[in-house]
Chains A and B, each alone.
Chain A
Amino acid sequence: DAGVIQSPRHEVTEMGQEVTLRCKPISGHDYLFWYRQTMMRGLELLIYFNNNVPIDDSGMPEDRFSAKMPNASFSTLKIQPSEPRDSAVYFCASSLAGWGTEAFFGQGTRLTVV
């Protein structure tokens, strides 16, 4: 397996624009996590899915953020409208099962909102 695949690797956008980040988890993994990494706040869990169903989105900062998982092999994180404070590295991770299993991370998407 190629691991968790995220796209794009880098995204630069203007404030107010819609941004969509994409993730393909490892095949067979039932859990998918979206994290945001910033210098100030470290690695924050935004939302996670189990079998394509959102389980906990309490980490999503605002209504401008939304995430979907239409099938087992694809998830998106959307920011609309984007703001400069959304600039961060966004990581997607997947795990085989829930509790007790490690998460495998993608390469991340570095988002810059100007």
Chain B
Amino acid sequence: AQSVSQHNHHVILSEAASLELGCNYSYGGTVNLFWYVQYPGQHLQLLLKYFSGDPLVKGIKGFEAEFIKSKFSFNLRKPSVQWSDTAEYFCAVNALGRDDKIIFGKGTRLHILP
């Protein structure tokens, strides 16, 4: 079955620092990939998604992610974080030919110091 690994459970950065959150998935076929964000006390919201085409995906709030098929990775990046980016970030995968499930990683808690 497909699975998703997020390497960092908890990340602490200062404002204006650059961010990269790792995500790897296990599935050899075609995938859809997502990053969701959960602000404190709120529900999950879609940050960005990759379906096909350009492997560099732009999302909301200055986030982007790059799909590297050879590495089974979909890392999330932002060049300069803000205090308001404090949240939990989830990577998710949906595998073609398996089923319609969206499987989530365990999440990365990002804390931005003002």
A interface with B by C-beta (< 8 Å): 31, 33, 35, 41-43, 45, 48, 50, 55-56, 91, 93, 95, 98-100, 102-108
B interface with A by C-beta (< 8 Å): 32, 34, 36, 42-46, 49, 51, 90, 94, 96, 99-107
- Do A50 and B43 touch across chains, with their CB atoms under 8 A apart? no
- Do B43 and A106 touch across chains, with their CB atoms under 8 A apart? yes
- Do B99 and A33 touch across chains, with their CB atoms under 8 A apart? no
Cβ contacts under 8 Å, A100 to chain B: 32, 51, 94, 96
Interface centre among B34, B43, B96 (most CB of A within 10 A): B43
- Do B49 and A102 touch across chains, with their CB atoms under 8 A apart? yes
Cβ contacts under 8 Å, A56 to chain B: 99, 101
Q: Is the interface of A mostly helix, strand, loop or mixed?
A: strand
Docked CA distance A45–B94 (Å): 12
Interface centre among A43, A50, A98, A106 (most CB of B within 10 A): A43
- Do B107 and A42 touch across chains, with their CB atoms under 8 A apart? yes
Cβ contacts under 8 Å, B105 to chain A: 42
- Do B43 and A105 touch across chains, with their CB atoms under 8 A apart? yes
- Do A105 and B101 touch across chains, with their CB atoms under 8 A apart? no
- Do B103 and A45 touch across chains, with their CB atoms under 8 A apart? yes
| Interchain nearest-CB distance for A9 vs B (Å) | 11
- Do B96 and A99 touch across chains, with their CB atoms under 8 A apart? yes
- Do A43 and B34 touch across chains, with their CB atoms under 8 A apart? no
Cβ contacts under 8 Å, A104 to chain B: 46
- Do A91 and B101 touch across chains, with their CB atoms under 8 A apart? no
Complex A-B: 10 CB contacts under 8 Å: A33-B102, A42-B104, A42-B106, A56-B99, A98-B100, A99-B96, A102-B46, A102-B49, A105-B44, A107-B42
| Interchain nearest-CB distance for B73 vs A (Å) | 19
Other A-B contacts than A45-B102, A56-B101, A105-B43, 19 sampled, CB-CB below 8 A, are A33-B101, A33-B102, A35-B104, A42-B107, A43-B44, A43-B90, A43-B106, A48-B100, A48-B101, A55-B100, A93-B44, A98-B99, A99-B32, A99-B94, A99-B100, A100-B51, A102-B46, A105-B36, A105-B44
